[in-house]
Amino acid sequence: MQGKTQFNVGVDGGGTKCRAEIFDNKGSALGAGIGGPANVARVGEKATGSIVDAVTRAIEDAGLAGRVLLSQCRVSAGLAGATVEAARQMLDQWRHPFATFSFITDLHAAVVGAHGGKKGAVMVVGTGSCTASYAHDKVQQYGGHGFTLGDKGSGAWLGCEAVKATLEALDGVAPSSALTQAVCEFYDAYSTGEFVNKLNNGLPAEFARVAPLVFEFATRQDPIAGDLVHRAASYLSAIAERALSDCEGNLVLIGGLSELVRPYLNARVQRAIVPAQFGPEWGAVLLDSMRVQ
């Protein structure tokens, strides 16, 4: 409490970048800034540098450089990986340069922001997939267990399943289709050996790159693409319904593939879809202010 005005800053931290927004005291965004990766479970202390960078740039973007110090910022961050105990301990011990610093998971910030702090649900479909509900100050997650154990229906899952189907076609134990031929062209691989060399250690994002192609071929009645998209949508509808039944609210779609999968979701889930009210940056700030009260 230095007697100076304090500004709320919300941070949305993910695996490739983090984004900060600085708000005035009415909740209007004054500026935004981008920093490096901030998945605290993966990049550890490097995340704290990314957060400081993003906040600094948001202050600059707001035209407040030199007038607003980091020590005047109340920073609230929604961070990927913040469920991991070691990452939480690191953040708790961080000697941050801000007025205050609090954190929750990126999903928590997203669901609170999406419904403006009221009860509701979100479904994320991008490289990964999951749903979450927010009600009675509690967040409940479904799916989103990572590339190895789940993330069914996600871009990484759709892409990896498409590659597996292509390998089975190349091995002659399953039918080929226009999709499997397109997958060969996409990865410039025409034998099982070439696929293994290129994708055996492929990261989720490398598989997710081909996912839009699966949706494209599904609309063209390709049987393999259609089957994959329907399996994806069936699982996503199931985890969406779990989240919706928790909160008896609406559903906000998030992530680069969510609009592509939307027409395949079941009718109950589709009827619950609404646009997001706010982003995760404001969600993090809202949560922090609700805690303080």
User: According to the binding rule CB under 8 A, does residue 172 interact with a second copy?
Assistant: yes
> Which residue, among 116, 153, 104, 137, has the nearest Cα to 252 in the 3D structure?
116
User: According to the binding rule CB under 8 A, does residue 146 interact with a second copy?
Assistant: yes
Nearer to a second copy, 63 or 146 (CB): 146
Instruction: Give the helix ranges, DSSP H, for the chain.
Output: 40-43, 46-61, 85-92, 106-114, 155-170, 178-187, 192-199, 204-208, 211-219, 223-247, 258-261, 267-271, 280-292
> Which residue, among 194, 239, 185, has the nearest Cα to 217 in the 3D structure?
185
User: According to the binding rule CB under 8 A, does residue 157 interact with a second copy?
Assistant: no
- Name the segment binding a second copy (CB under 8 A); options: 57-65, 146-154, 175-183, 212-220: 146-154
Minimum CB separation of residue 290 from a second copy in Å reads 24
As a whole number of angstroms, the distance between CA 54 and CA 58 comes to: 6
User: According to the binding rule CB under 8 A, does residue 242 interact with a second copy?
Assistant: yes
| Among 31, 81, 117, 202, interactor with a second copy by CB under 8 A | 202
> Which residue, among 199, 200, 219, has the nearest Cα to 209 in the 3D structure?
199
Which residues from 178-197 bind a second copy, rule CB under 8 A? 192-193, 195-197
As a whole number of angstroms, the distance between CA 130 and CA 56 comes to: 31
User: According to the binding rule CB under 8 A, does residue 205 interact with a second copy?
Assistant: no
> Which residue, among 242, 266, 262, 238, has the nearest Cα to 252 in the 3D structure?
262
As a whole number of angstroms, the distance between CA 5 and CA 25 comes to: 10
Whole-Å CA distances, 170 to 80, 259, 283 = 38, 31, 47
**By rule CB under 8 A, what count of residues binds a second copy?**
33
- Site mask for a second copy (CB under 8 A), range 61-100, x = bound: ----------------------xx----------------
Minimum CB separation of residue 242 from a second copy in Å reads 6
User: According to the binding rule CB under 8 A, does residue 199 interact with a second copy?
Assistant: yes
Query: Residue 129 forms beta bridges with which residues?
Result: 125
As a whole number of angstroms, the distance between CA 76 and CA 79 comes to: 10
User: According to the binding rule CB under 8 A, does residue 169 interact with a second copy?
Assistant: no
Nearer to a second copy, 8 or 127 (CB): 127
3-state DSSP call for residue 213? helix
| Among 1, 149, 267, 292, interactor with a second copy by CB under 8 A | 149
Residue 77, φ and ψ in degrees, nearest 5: -120, 135
Nearer to a second copy, 209 or 242 (CB): 242
User: According to the binding rule CB under 8 A, does residue 150 interact with a second copy?
Assistant: yes
Minimum CB separation of residue 286 from a second copy in Å reads 25
Interface residue list for a second copy (CB under 8 A): 83-84, 141-143, 145-146, 148-150, 152, 160, 163-164, 167-168, 171-174, 192-193, 195-197, 199-202, 235, 238-239, 242
